[in-house]
Amino acid sequence: MRRRPARRHRRPRRPFEHRLRRPGRCDPQGPAASNRHGRKATMMTSSPSLPAPDLKNGGGTSPNGRRSGGLDRLLSLIERAGNALPNPVILFAVLFALLAVVSTALDLAGVSAAVPGTDQTKHITGLLTGEGLRWLLENLVLNFATFPPIGTVLTLFMVVGLAEKVGLLDTVMRATLARAPKAVLPYAVAIVACQAHVMTDVAALVFPPLAAMVFKAAGRHPVAGLIGAFACVSAGYAAGFTVGSLDANYVGITQQAASTLPAGDGLHIHLLINYFFTASSSIVLGLLGGFLISRVIEPRLGPYRAAEGEPESEDLTLTPAQRRGLRYTGLVVAVYLAAILALWLPSGAPLRGEGGALLPSPVLTGMVPIVFGGFLLAGLTYARTAKTVTGADELITSVADSLKTMSGYLVMMFVAAQVIALFNWSNVGILLAAKSAAFLNAINLTGFWVIVAFVALTACLNLFIVSGSALWSLAGPIFVPAFMLLGMSPALSQAAFRIGDSATGILTPMNPYLFVILAMLRQ
């Protein structure tokens, strides 16, 4: 007689509610949220029995202590590599020392650099020689004082800081977003976020929570607004219709790098050399960002349900004083722009270029003072009409406070100015550019593909060097002259850098604002 096989003993299945409380199975919407089965889930960050992620040591593990996958390990590797990098000031100091040694060695070896496009040959001059030491003593202060980004960035930062301190920028964002229809809101948030770089780095701190409040007031998921706004501020940081201190910083470095070659002397490098690209790309990025917020992020979060005891949505309606200030500010700025155009566009206008040319003209070369005047008038008008300041002393204090945050930037620019000046004076920059261009020609990497390779290189470097000005100060003196030798404009090199610099800003754990956003998400 055939025996029946013994039945396996199966462990009883745990109740569904107990399985939901396992680490990694939690709904991100909080205690009051429901999953697709209609059961309540426990929020990971609010459960006292679950360990918090180790942000200090780079994480790398899921809450239950096991690796969550290859992406998690890759991000942990990037963070450890980024943490191993020194401060940008140290990076520039090391590069300066390396240039000093290399230039001296090339000088002793009798190396010369042929100036492309001319019959000139320039000898490499070493810093650690008598001539080099005399140059350093005579030009150390001058290198810093005449470094193009310094004056332009500080000039614009004063008036942008004034507009932010008196509440103008916050009011403009509230007026822009609060009236947007519910269906259009993700796209409005994304497009405005791509213009937010005019607020400098403060945009990453001010705009995401404001977008979350607008989403919540409209009955949409505030976490989608927070995440989407942070992503669009980061990815669109180098785009936008607005012009700010970032544009001035990049243009100053580009101008200094292009002057390495004789062909750079006749180039008109101004604040708007990338304007058509940045303005159009902000629309493309805004539409794409709005699509991802509404069709990808928000559906994955599900419907939002406020937790017990959660405060009500903040009223984003402008006060009468804010509306009055915004109305008068818009009128003053419109009159100011009309006056600039009237002094530029008509035939024989005083702001026309040489020979009555429309381009180039003092309007483009003097764009920094024009932007300065516009922001100054806007900030003063809003402060006066909205009564956000009590007197002139408070205005001056606001401007001074905004410049206090630039101390670290000035230290970095002091060392960066010495590096770029040494590149130019020693002729190592010409030699490096000529060799780089010859190498790219030898491997037939020219035209479109060399730009693609440069974008990819910038995106990778940006994972570790998150400061755009620091990275462009390192890459600009090398690649701008090299691409000029390949027949490419410095404007194209700068545009390619801006693409790569913005692409990975939101991905890197080195982004200091990423952890601020995580704290906002926990709240």
pLDDT at 47: 32
pLDDT at 54: 38
Residue type, 136: L
**In whole angstroms, what is the distance from residue 509 CA to residue 60 CA?**
12
Q: Which residues of the chain have pLDDT under 70?
A: 1-69, 71-72, 75, 78-79, 82, 115-119, 198-202, 244-245, 309-316, 359, 433, 437, 464-466, 509-512, 515-516, 519, 523
Q: Which residues contact 148 (CB under 8 A, 6 or more apart)?
A: 251, 252, 253, 255, 256
Extents of the domains making up the chain: 86-306+390-522, 318-389
**In whole angstroms, what is the distance from residue 408 CA to residue 124 CA?**
33
Q: Which residues contact 356 (CB under 8 A, 6 or more apart)?
A: 347, 348
pLDDT at 516: 67
Taking only the tens place, the pLDDT of each residue in 464-507 is 666 777 788 878 888 888 898 888 899 999 999 999 888 887 77
pLDDT at 311: 64
DSSP code string of 449-475? HHHHHHHHHHHHHTTT---HHHHHHHH
pTM to 2 decimal places = 0.61
pLDDT at 412: 79
Tally of residues, the chain: 523
